[in-house]
Amino acid sequence: MSIAPYLEHLKRTLPSGATVYYFAPDGVVYAVGRDCLRRLDPTRRSEDCVDMLRFIDAGQYTRYLIGSATTSDENPTNATCKLGFVRSHSAFTPHAHGAEHFVLSMGYASCGLYDQERSTVAHVRLIPGSMLHIPAMMPHSFNNRADTPLPLVIANTGMGIDHEDYAITAAMAAERARRGDQVAARLFEALRQLETEMATDRVHATTSLRERLAGWLRRLASVLEGGA
C-alpha cells in the first residue's frame, strides 16, 4: 500500500488547470494535475533541478508559484509565493530580508531569530505544519534538522530572489557599512552574532527521539490515507 492510489485518483478527478501539491512525509512534493503527475525532489534527484532556481545557497532550490525571481518595485506583483527545498541537515547562510516573509515548514526545521530588543538570538524548533512570520530586516537562519529534504512554502511582499535586498548576508552588510550605511553596520553585527550561535546551539542539530517516532507515524498515516 502506498500514496499512489490517491495520486492516481487526483489525476483522474481534477479539472484541467487545477493542481494539488501533496507534501509527503519523506520530503517529496508531488504536483498533480489532470492526467499529469510530477515528483519534486531536487535535493536528491538531478532531473528535478531543471526548472528550479538556486535558493540563497548552493544545493537549496525554489520554484515560484506566484511572482518571479525578478519581482521588484520596477517589476511589481502584490506578493510572491514559492516552493522551497532544503537538503537534509543543512541551513541557509544567516541573512535578513528587505520584506516580510511567511514561511510554512512541512518538516522538522529550526530557526535562529535575532531579537533586537534583547540583543540576543532566539533559537526556535519547528515541527511539520508550523508557519513562521519573519518581519522585514530581522536577521535569521533556517535549518533542516532531519535526514530528509525539507519542503517549504514561502510568501513575501515586493521582491523576488534576484532583488538586491532579498537576502542580505553579513558579507553584503559589511560592504554596505564600508560605504557609510549605519543601518547595515548594525545589521552586520547582528548577523555575525547569529552566525556564531547557529553553529553551536544544539537546538539546530538534529531531531529528537520523539520527533523521529512522530515522523515514522506520519509516514504510516500517509500510507493509510493514500491507499484509501
The residues that bridge with 54 in the sheet, in sequence order, are 61
Our measurement of the distance from residue 168's CA atom to the centroid of its chain's CA atoms, rounded to an integer in Å, reads 16
SS3 202: helix
The amino acid present at 39, given as its one-letter code, is R
CATH architecture of 4-226: Sandwich (2.60)
SS3 13: helix
Domains of the chain by residue range: 4-226
Please state, in angstroms and rounded to a whole number, the distance separating the CA atoms of residues 110 and 145.
7
Q: What is the pLDDT along the chain (228 residues), one digit of tens a residue?
A: 477 888 888 888 877 887 889 999 888 999 999 888 999 999 999 888 888 988 989 889 998 888 888 888 777 676 789 999 999 999 999 999 999 898 999 999 999 999 888 888 889 888 888 888 888 998 999 999 999 999 999 999 878 899 999 999 999 999 999 999 999 999 999 999 999 998 888 889 899 999 999 999 988 888 888 775
Please state, in angstroms and rounded to a whole number, the distance separating the CA atoms of residues 74 and 10.
39
Compute the C-alpha angle 46/48/54, nearest 5°. Answer: 85
